[in-house]
A and B are shown apart, each in its own frame.
Chain A
Amino acid sequence: MTTDVSPSFRGTRLASKDIENVVEVDGLVVRYGRGDRAVTAVDGVSFTARAGQVTAVLGPNGAGKTSTIEVCEGLRRRTTGTVRVLGLDPAGSRADRAALHRRVGVMLQEGGIYPSARPIDTVRQYCGIHSGSATSSPDELLDLVGLTDRRRTPWRRLSGGEKQRLSLALALTSRPDVVFLDEPTSGVDVNGRDTIRSIIRSLTERGCGVILATHELDEAERIADRVVIFDRGKVLVEGTLDDVRKARQAVRLRTIRPLPLPDMPASIADWLHEVEPGHYTIEDAPQGLVAALAVWLSEHGIDVIELRAGVASLEDVFKKLTGGEP
């Protein structure tokens, strides 16, 4: 498994480093169907993604993430709104779209490769298609994603993680200025995740903007610089990872058994938000509350798994905002 990114892949910083916002979405609306059957998948979404940063797009199923990203990739038409990728309109003139296709890397959530195709042939095909802009060789790309030993194995016989890494290699054939990665670590083992994180870091180091759609909040928390949380077609929050987490200072409490909330003093119980039985959070806790809680738990012999004060985890923020699982 390769975890070091080769020097030739790192290359020089991008010529477009002067573009600060690689993706700008303003008031995007995407509707499917017509008349009574029309469904609004994306409802007035606005956000930006910056060069040299990883922007994680989070949200439950059906939140509008994929529709939004596919509009940015040029795969889907928007109903209204403005979208600019590297300053160009993905639904604009043929020249705009051709320019974007040379500078944008796309990793689909799944598929995109013929089952009988071998990794070496597929990467060669995509390097050939990007013949004007590809600077990494097929062998370099396969080495980069740790598939050199599987270069002649048909795609259908690759593991889920190997398929993801091959798909990532295809997204990198053009040495893109912006990359859209849809669930890049889904089904990938620990070593494979290290490889993918290393590649993403190398992309941002050379100024590439990475837009990452994922359900895996831990993964987003590890590598994202900015976070955009979607729910029901709208953006609930957007900002740097630190800002989003700090905005929701929280105390997190996990107990072995559910707390007897009705029996607890109101001065403590009123602050407790029950995420699920045995899992509680307190937002904006007043001074002394955590100490009082700790004393009460101790006096009543309640076994505590975790009592942590500080910034909220991304998972806490996500659940609070969307009311559910990613």
Chain B
Amino acid sequence: MSGPLRAQLGAELRILVRNGEQLLLTIIIPVLVLVFFGLTDVLPSDLDDHMDFLTPGVVALAIMSTSMVSLGIATGFERNYKVLKRLGVTPLGRPRWLVAKTLTVMVVEVVQLALLVPIALALDWNADDARWLLALGAVGAGTIAFAGLGLFIAGRLRAEVNLAAQNGLYIVLLLLGGMVVPFDELPGGLEAVAKFLPSGALADVLRDALVGAGSQPDTSWIVLGAWAIAAPVAAALTFRWE
């Protein structure tokens, strides 16, 4: 790893650790959701074991929290504080800045998975049928899709508007994304829409990979792939560094 990239990655991780709200969003909320609904079994799932529904949904929620909301909010404020403008006149360069951001997201996701999977297992989730490589592929595709979406929003709006937009979208995608509310519990029109949202597609392919219970995994892979291409392209075309 080059010196500039190492320096920027270190700075990104230090800033992340110092921002309590980011840790709340990326670590504490997913863990609380997993523990609360894991212990209470109140989710309206058709699956025999409610942990089979909950675990993939919470992993999808964690990925969305990190790669879209946390990344998007931080980037929006960095534009606002002219951090990106300042870095633009250094040897770091935009590609290395993007790599540093990507690696930061990956580090957080590793921590998330290292916490969520053991907690789910402790709550009696049975991972015998999990296809881990497929699940990691889903996490990768979901990360790209959500990061593109987060940067697309962050790259155009003022920091405060971006903050509201990211949080608002987070709630909408959480409720409509098949993460904690099954698709078939949604009203008819919303169910059709939800399956084409990146959150719904990610939750579905993760549910297929981890417990073999996806509702339409092939379609969901196509939907997720389309988001993983379209969102970063849109972000790249519209992003304003200042």
Contacts and interface: CB of A to CB of B under 8 A. Distances in A.
B15 A116 contact: yes
A117 B15 contact: yes
Interface stretch (B81-89, B198-206, B218-226, B229-237): B81-89
B86 A170 contact: yes
A126 B90 contact: yes
Interface in B2-33: 2-4, 6-8, 10-11, 14-15, 18-19
A102 interface: yes
A101 interface: yes
Interface string B15-55: 10011000000000000000000000000000000000000
A133 B92 CA distance: 13
B81 A114 contact: yes
A241 B145 CA distance: 57
B18 A116 contact: yes
B90 A112 contact: no
Interface in A104-120: 104, 106, 108, 110-117
A129 interface: yes
Contacts of A126: 7, 90
B91 A102 contact: yes
B7 A124 contact: yes
Given A125-B8, A132-B3, A101 B90 contact: yes
B78 interface: yes
A125 B87 CA distance: 11
Contact of B86 (A113, A116, A127, A132): A113
Contacts, number: 86
Contacts of A75: 85, 88-89, 242
B93 interface: yes
A102 B3 CA distance: 13
Given A75-B85, A111-B81, A112-B86, A131 B15 contact: no
A130 interface: yes
In the complex, which of the residues A98, A102, A114, A170 has the most CB atoms of chain B within 10 Å of its own CB atom?
A: A114
Contacts of B88: 74-75
Contacts of A106: 86, 89
Contacts of A124: 7, 10
A87 interface: no
B6 A116 contact: no
A306 B77 CA distance: 51
Nearest to A121: B14
A131 B90 contact: no
A132 B5 CA distance: 12
A102 B89 CA distance: 9
A121 B7 CA distance: 10
B158 to A, nearest CB: 14
Given A117-B14, A132-B3, A101 B89 contact: yes
A128 to B, nearest CB: 2
Name B's interface SS: helix
A73 interface: yes
A128 B89 contact: no
Interface string B49-89: 00000000000000000000000000001100111011111
Contact of A73 (B81, B87, B89): B89
B231 to A, nearest CB: 25
A129 B92 CA distance: 6
A133 B81 CA distance: 26
A43 B126 CA distance: 70
Contacts of B87: 129
Nearest to B80: A111
Nearest to A127: B7
Contacts of A127: 7
B33 to A, nearest CB: 27
A112 B91 contact: no
B81 A128 contact: no
Interface in A61-118: 73-75, 98, 101-102, 104, 106, 108, 110-117
A74 B90 CA distance: 10
Contact of A112 (B10, B15, B83): B83
Contacts of B8: 125, 128-129
Contacts of A125: 7-8, 10-11
A129 B9 CA distance: 10
A128 B4 contact: yes
A115 B91 CA distance: 22
Nearest to A104: B89
Contacts of B92: 129
Contacts of A132: 3, 91
Interface of A: 73-75, 98, 101-102, 104, 106, 108, 110-117, 121-122, 124-133, 170, 174
